[in-house]
Structure 1
Amino acid sequence: MLQHLYLDSNKFSSNFPLSLWKMSGLLYLDVSQNSVEGEVSSEIGGLKAIVELYLSSNHFSGMIPSTFGELQNLQNLDLSNNSFFGKIPLSFANLISLKDLNLSLNALSGTIPKSLEKLSYLKSINVSFNDLEGEIPSGGVFANSTMQSFLGNKGLCGMHILEIPACAITNPGKQSKLKEVVLKIVTPVVIASFLIFLFVSIWIMKRQKKGKSKDVEKVPEIGTHQLVSYHEIQQATNNFDESNLIGQGRSGSVYKGTLFGGTAVAIKALDLENDQVCKRFDTECEVMRNVRHRNLVSVITTCSSDYIRAFVLRYMPNGSLENWLYREESHLNLLQRVTVMLDAAMAVEYLHHGHVTPIVHCDLKPANVLLDEDMVAHVGDFGISKILAVSKSVAHTETLGTLGYIAPEYGSEGIVSSSGDVYSYGIMLMEVLTRRRPTDEEVCNENLDLRKWIIQSFAGSMMDVVDANIFCEEEQITCKSEICIASMIELALDCTKEMPESRITMKDVVKRLNKINNAFLET
C-alpha cells in the first residue's frame, strides 16, 4: 500500500531492486543523488499509478525502456545526470499527463521525437548535454523553450530558437531556388572576394619585403591576422604612455591600444630583462596555436623583435574578475557570479578535455579571468601553462603559479596535472563567493586556510561566510539562493580535496554548475 518513497541524497550503490518496479500503487518515487547502478528494467511499466519519478544523478545506464510509455499518470520525470544512451523512446508520446521532462546530462543520440509536440500538458523539457542531432520540433512545449534546454548537443538545429543554427534545406523545390540564388548572387560575391583577397595578399607581401630594416619581427604563427611591428605597437599605445596602462604584473604590463583601423585591443608587453618571462612567451605562443574557445582570451597576433615580446589580445572592457571582487564601486550579484564561474569552468574543461594533448593552465585566479562587454568571462594568461604528453597525465616543473591557489602536490613536489587546475578553480570559486583572498590574514594562519575556514564557518550562518555584496540591501535572501550557495560551496570543497585522485574533473564541475545555474533560474 506504499504511496510515497523518498530515498534521495544517500549513498546507495547497488542495482535497483526489481520488486520496486512492481509497486502498482506507488505515487511518488525519488532515488536521486545516489550511486545506483545498472539498467532500468522494462518492468517499470508496473508503476501504473506513478505521478512523480526522480532517478537523476545516479549511474543508471543502458537504453531508456519503451515501457515508460505505459505510465499515463506520470507528471514529472527526471532521468538527468546518468549514463543513458540510445534514442529517446517514441513511446514518450503516450505520457499524456506529463508536465516536466528532464533528460539532460546523458549520452542520448538520434533525434528529438516530433510526437512530443502533442503532449498538451508538457510545460518544460531539458535535453541539454547529450549527443542529439537533427531538427528541434517547433510546436507544443518546444515553442516556448529556450536555448538552455538544448545546450551541449552539437548536432541539433532549428529556426525558432535563437543561437541554435538553422537546419539545412532538404526540400527539392527550395534547393533549386537556392541554386538560382547561388548562381545570380553568391557566385559574383565569391569572385569579388577572391580578387580582394588577392590584392590584399600582394599588398602584405610587398609590406613584408620592406621589413628588412631593424624593425623586422619574427612572429610565431598564431592566426591569419596581419602582423604588427614594434613601431606600430608604439603608436597604438602612444609610446607606452601611462594613461593607457590597464594592468601590471610580474611578467610585464598590459596597455590599451588602437590597431587595424580603429579596433581597440589589449597589448601585453613582456619584461625582456626577465629570461624566465621570455621563455614563457614561447610557451604561451605554443598554447595559443592549439586553442580556440569562446571563453578563452583570444590572441589576435604577436610581435617578437629585439625590442619587444608582445601579444595583441582582444580588449576586455570590463576588466578582471579580481577588480570586480575588490573594487568598492563594482559588485557582482549571485547570478553573475554563478555565470562567470560557469564560463571559466567551460574554458578549463576545454583545455583539459578538448585536445588529444591536455593543456594545464597552472595559474588560475581571478586576475586571469577577464570580462568582455557582455560580462562573459574569458580565461587568459597561459605563460606558465604545460602541454601534457599523450602518454602522461602528470608532469614536473619548477615554475610555480600564485601562492594560495597552488595545489599541495604542485607546491611541494612540482607535480603538474589537470587536478591541480581543479584545485585552483575550487579556491577561486571560494574566493568569488566569500570575497576573501586565499592569503587573507584574517582567514589564514598556521592552522587554518580558506578551505578549513569555510568548513568551520559554514557550520554556522551562511551569511557569516558569503560576501554581503552578493545581495542588495533591499533584496530578500530566498531558499533558492541559499541552495545555490550551499551547492557551490560543496562543489568548491570537492575541487579542493587534498589528494589529487579524490578531486572531481572539470567535466564534472561544468555538469554540476550547469545544474546549479538551471535550478537557480527556474521560476
Structure 2
Amino acid sequence: MGKKAKALSKEEPPCLNYHRRIPYFELARATDNFSEDNLLGRGSIGKVYKGSLDGGLLVAVKVLNLEVERDSRSFDAECSTLGQVRHINLVKIISTCSNFEFKALVLEFMPNLSLDKWLYSQNQCLTLLQRINIMLDVSLGLDYLHHQHPHVIVHCDMKPSNILLDENMVAHISDFGIAKLMLIENKSTTSTNNIGTVGYMGPEYGSTGRVTIRGDVYSFGILLLELVTGKKPVDAMFSRKLSLRKWVRNAYPTAVMEIVDNNILRTELTNLQQHSDGVDILLRCLSSIIEVGLHCSKDLPNERLLMRDVVPRLQEIKNRVLVN
C-alpha cells in the first residue's frame, strides 16, 4: 500500500469518551473558570481555552459565540455527527457541553498550537520540509472531508489559525462543521459571508454567498501562497488593486526567489551550500508549490483543482525534496 493510501486509511476509531456529555461545571473547573491565563485564542466564532478534565486529559474548550436558542437538540445532533468524523489530519471532537446559555466543543489539545503562530512568531521558524508536510497534511484532511467521508463536509473558513499542530508537528484541521452549526443556531442566516475570513474567501462568496468544496480549494490555494511567501493575504502591502495572489502571479515564474519567505532561505542555507545546483532545486520546488497554489485559487470555481487531485501533486513535490 502506497503512502497516500495509508494516509487516507488512517481514520481514527470513534472516541470512547464522546458519549459522555461534559457538564458545564466540569469545564469551568478544567479551565479555572475560563481564566484568561488559559485562553489559547479568540475569534468571531468564540474563544478557545486550555483545560484539564477531571480524569487528567488535556483538552481545548471552544466556547461558541452563537445566538442562544431554547431548543438545543439540533445543535447536539450535529455535534454528535461531527464527533464521528475521524481522520488523522482532523482535530478530534471529544465531547460537547450545551444548555440554554452556553455551548462549547471539547476538542483534542494540540501542544504546538496553530500554524498562524508558527508563521508569524519571532521565536519559531518552519523549515521548507515542515511547510510541505503541513500542506500535505491539510490537503489529506480536506480530501477526506470533500471526497472520502460519506457526506460532503465544506469547511468554509480554511486559514492558518484553523490548522493546529500536534507534538510531532503533524497538522490537524480545526473548526470543520462550524459553518453548519452557525446556520443551525442562526436560522435567519442565508449565507456564510459572516463565517469566512477576508482574504481566504473565494470571490464567488461576495456575489452569491454559495458554499461549495471549491471555495475550500480557493482558501487552500491562498494558504499555499502564504506558506511560501510568509505574507498574509491581508498584509498592509496589499490593496484592492494588488492581492497576495496577483503579487505572486506577477512574480511567477521569473522572479520567484524575490517573493519567498526569508525564513525559508535561512533554514535551507546549509542545503543550498552542499549542492552546486541547490538554488535551482529550491527554485523548482517553490515554483511547483506556487503553481498548485495559483491553480487552486483561480477566480472561476470550475477552473480550480479538486483536493483529490491536489494530494498526489503535493506528494510528488515532497518526494522530490526528500530525494534531493
TM-score by length of 1: 0.54
Q: What is the deviation of 1:522?
A: 1.0
Range moving further from structure 2, 408-417 or 396-405: 396-405
Quote the residue 2:213 is aligned against. Answer: 418
Work out the CA distance in 2 between the residues paired with 1:507 and 1:416: 18
Q: What is the deviation of 1:475?
A: 2.7
**Secondary structure of residue in 2 paired with 1:348:** helix
* Distance of aligned partners of 1:513 and 1:280 in 2 relative to their CA distance in 1, 3 Å threshold: farther
Q: Deviations over 1:439-458 (max 9, x none)?
A: 1121x223221111101123
- Which of residues 137, 145, 149 is equivalent to 1:355? 149
Q: What is the deviation of 1:430?
A: 0.6
Quote the residue 1:511 is aligned against. Answer: 312
**Secondary structure of residue in 1 paired with 2:266:** coil
Quote the residue 1:428 is aligned against. Answer: 223
Quote the residue 2:184 is aligned against. Answer: none
**Secondary structure of residue in 2 paired with 1:402:** coil
Q: Which has the higher strand share?
A: 1
Q: How does 1:167-206 map to 2 (within 5 A)?
A: none
Q: What is the deviation of 1:340?
A: 0.5
Q: Deviations over 1:185-216 (max 9, x none)?
A: xxxxxxxxxxxxxxxxxxxxxxxxxxxxxxxx
Answer whether contact 1:359 1:386 (CA < 8 A) is retained: no
Select the structure with the greater relative contact order (CA < 8 A; seq sep ≥ 6).
Answer: 2
Quote the residue 1:398 is aligned against. Answer: 191
- Which of residues 155, 159, 166 is equivalent to 1:365? 159
- Correspondence 1:437 to 2:232: yes
Q: What is the deviation of 1:364?
A: 0.5
Gap regions ≥5 residues in structure 1: 1-126, 129-147, 157-162, 164-220, 388-395
Q: What is the deviation of 1:462?
A: 2.4
Answer whether contact 2:201 2:215 (CA < 8 A) is retained: yes
Quote the residue 1:311 is aligned against. Answer: 105
TM-score by length of 2: 0.85
Work out the CA distance in 2 between the residues paired with 1:340 and 1:466: 17
* Distance of aligned partners of 1:279 and 1:402 in 2 relative to their CA distance in 1, 3 Å threshold: farther
Work out the CA distance in 2 between the residues paired with 1:283 and 1:407: 30
Work out the CA distance in 2 between the residues paired with 1:322 and 1:419: 23
Work out the CA distance in 1 between the residues paired with 2:266 and 2:54: 42
Q: How does 1:447-462 map to 2 (within 5 A)?
A: 447-462=241-256
Q: What is the deviation of 1:226?
A: 2.5
* Distance of aligned partners of 1:336 and 1:271 in 2 relative to their CA distance in 1, 3 Å threshold: same
Q: What is the deviation of 1:510?
A: 0.4
**Secondary structure of residue in 1 paired with 2:40:** strand
Answer whether contact 2:91 2:172 (CA < 8 A) is retained: yes
The code of the aligned residue for 1:511 comes to: P
Gap regions ≥5 residues in structure 2: 182-188, 273-277
**Secondary structure of residue in 2 paired with 1:291:** coil
The code of the aligned residue for 1:399 comes to: T
Identity over aligned residues, as a percent? 46
The code of the aligned residue for 1:503 comes to: R
The code of the aligned residue for 1:514 comes to: Q
- Which of residues 275, 281, 292 is equivalent to 1:491? 292
The code of the aligned residue for 1:480 comes to: I
Q: Which has the higher helix share?
A: 2
Q: What is the deviation of 1:279?
A: 11
